[in-house]
Structure 1
Amino acid sequence: MNEYSIVQIVSLVGFLILALSALASHRLNWSKALRMGLLWVAIFLGVALLFSIVGPGA
């Protein structure tokens, strides 16, 4: 590990803390939060699949 990877890990942990605190501020229950998270994962996977089907330069 070099100093850049340590900075990346610290920033990712910071971003995770910010995201979790934002989620906690909305006072969602766990089932609704999990459903919303799975929906976002499905959206990103769908867009990635679409880009992989279309291909570069299309």
Structure 2
Amino acid sequence: MNEGNAVSLIALIGWLILAGGAFASYKLNWKTSLKQALTWIAIFGAVFVLFTLVRGQ
């Protein structure tokens, strides 16, 4: 791991902590949080598959 990768990893961890803190501030219950997380995973997965199919042709 070079210096650039270490800085990127530290920045990524910082962004994840910041995003987690913002998400926790909504004080949602676990069921709602899980539902929202699965919805976002499905959205990004669909976009990923769409771009893969378009790019593959």
Code of the residue aligned with 1:30 in structure 2: it is W
Cα separation, 1, equivalents of 2:14 and 2:42: 24
Q: Between the two structures, name the one with larger relative contact order (CA 8 Å, sep ≥ 6).
A: 1
Code of the residue aligned with 1:8 in structure 2: it is S
Code of the residue aligned with 1:45 in structure 2: it is G
Code of the residue aligned with 1:4 in structure 2: it is G
Query: How many residue pairs align between the two structures?
Result: 57
Unmatched segments (≥5 aa) in structure 2? none
* Aligned-residue identity in percent: 46
Q: TM-score w.r.t. structure 2 length? A: 0.87
Equivalent in the alignment of 2:23: 23
Unmatched segments (≥5 aa) in structure 1? none
CA-atom RMSD, angstroms?
1.5
Stretches of 4+ aligned residues off by more than 4 angstroms: none
SS in 2 for 1:55: helix
Q: TM-score w.r.t. structure 1 length? A: 0.86
1:2 matched to 2:25: no
